[in-house]
Amino acid sequence: MSLTHSPPTTLTINQNFWRYAIPSIAAMLVTGLYQIVDGIFVGHYVGYQGLAAINMAWPITYLLSGLGLMIGIGSGTLISIARGEKNPHHAQRALDHAVLLITVISVMALVLFVHFGETLLTIQGANHTIKALALQYVQSFGWAAFVTIFAGAIPMLIRNDDSPKIATGLLIAGALTNIVLDYLFIGIFKWQLQGAAIATIIAQSITVVGGIIYFCSAYSPLRIRLTIVNIQFSHCWKIMSLGSSVLIMYLYASFVVALHNYQFMQYGTELTVSAFAIVGYMMTLYYLVAEGIAEGMQPPVSYYYGAKQPQNISKTTFLAIKVTIIAGISWFALLYSFPHTLIGLFNSGNAALTSEAVSGIQLHLFAMFLDGLIVLATVYFMSVDKAGKALTISISNMLVQLPFLYFLPQWLGVNGVWLSMPLSTILLSIIVLPMVWHDLQQRNKVTPSMPQPAL
């Protein structure tokens, strides 16, 4: 078995970066369409209570995607490093352990969702009506945990097998299916949030089946095998440790949204939670772009790390930083200039909801480009096999929110809830960004430059 698919050696650093970044950004945006399209149909056909319910269900179901991405990007990083080292055996071993982890973790997630889903909604302050709607969504995903986790992992595995376009194509097929089924199940059949969940699960199944076919085809030198032969706990732990920082990012997002939901219910109303859902969709679009840039950076950086190319690591990372900043500032400028138009995608004429969402955009999103840089820093350290630093940043991103969310609402009410995240992000970025700069500088001092390899 050989590791194939290497592009020509004439590709520049920029070309190598965009070769992965464009499909990765597209893949993340397509993945985000699942969530955003659900919000559009729920907002128009169920109303603001439906938006509040799906926003309370989202922190719970989002964990499944995080688990899938943890496995996918952890094992995918090992596959990319193995390709850089020209070691096909290690690449196949990473894939074998990924499949086993998906299976085991899916069973654990099913038990958690089915038995504790209602409790997790109650903790967020959901009232009877909101809880009943949200539980439809949560329990549906619980029973289909294997599909959702596998759908989160397999595009990362395919991408790191040097087939980013195929990974993107599978995600697009699933997303388009989700749009059609959302209209059918929510708009026509009136299945409310259960319809949204079923539509997403069926669409994710298309991505999973397509991915399995890919790994059984001549396009890949690797094969998906459910095996316990030569399975070692240390390899499973390596995958989880490398991907743990990404999981923590998802836990961070889930935790922060859940805590915001609770605080908005304490200092505001269901309408405030609905506005937060809309603002969250707006931020999600940028967050997915930033995550796509970071994940597009990961395969070449991991490859350069395996091939001992420190200057190429620096050039790729600085390019990713520049693109992340430009994207964040541009998106906020668009949101600030045309808020009513974008909010209207999720709202059918509720003036109070529009007013609350406009205020939320202005207070909550002005520093979101820094949040993108924190994501980039986390993936950077993971890509160069520094899982400890990546995990520390992810955990810090979660913990730094707590004092802001506790004290600011007491002083500023609802506005304090809106301001908590951007202010804590500014504080953390002052610490994290110099860490990346220092690591890049030290890396270039230690290892001499070598000619650029092919990816």
Q: What is the DSSP string of 184-237?
A: IIIIIS--HHHHHHHHHHHHHHHHHHHHHHHHTSTT-S-------TT--HHHHH
Indicate the pLDDT class of residue 67, thresholds 50, 70 and 90: very high
Higher model confidence: residue 165 or residue 328?
328
Would you state the structure tokens that stand for residue 207, as one six-digit string? 């991505």
Examine the pLDDT at 348 and tell me if it is beyond 90.
no
- Choose among 160, 75, 152: nearest CA to 109: 152
Indicate yes or no: pTM above 0.75: yes
Cα–Cα distance measured from residue 147 to residue 107, given in angstroms and rounded to the nearest whole number: 11
pLDDT of residue 79: 87
pLDDT (average), residues 23-47: 84
Examine the pLDDT at 354 and tell me if it is beyond 90.
yes
pLDDT of residue 398: 81
Q: Compute φ and ψ for 378, nearest 5 degrees.
A: -60, -50
Q: What is the mean pLDDT of the chain?
A: 87
Q: How is 344-355 classified by DSSP, letter by letter?
A: TTT-SS-HHHHH
pLDDT digits 0-9 by tens, 102-155? 999 999 999 998 888 899 999 998 888 899 999 999 999 999 999 999 999 998
Indicate the pLDDT class of residue 403, thresholds 50, 70 and 90: very high
449: DSSP letter = -
Task: Mention every residue, 6+ apart, whose C-beta is less than 8 A from residue 298.
Answer: 20, 73, 76, 77, 80, 379, 382, 383
CA distances from 436 to 245, 381, 433, 439, 451 (A): 15, 8, 5, 5, 23
pLDDT of residue 443: 77
Higher model confidence: residue 24 or residue 145?
145
pLDDT of residue 1: 44
Would you state the structure tokens that stand for residue 278, as one six-digit string? 């809309």
Examine the pLDDT at 32 and tell me if it is beyond 80.
no
Cα–Cα distance measured from residue 437 to residue 433, given in angstroms and rounded to the nearest whole number: 6
pLDDT digits 0-9 by tens, 161-191? 888 889 888 988 998 999 999 999 999 999 9
pLDDT (average), residues 83-91: 82
pLDDT (average), residues 238-242: 89
- Percent over 90 (pLDDT), the chain: 49
Q: Are 299 and 354 in contact (CB under 8 A)?
A: no
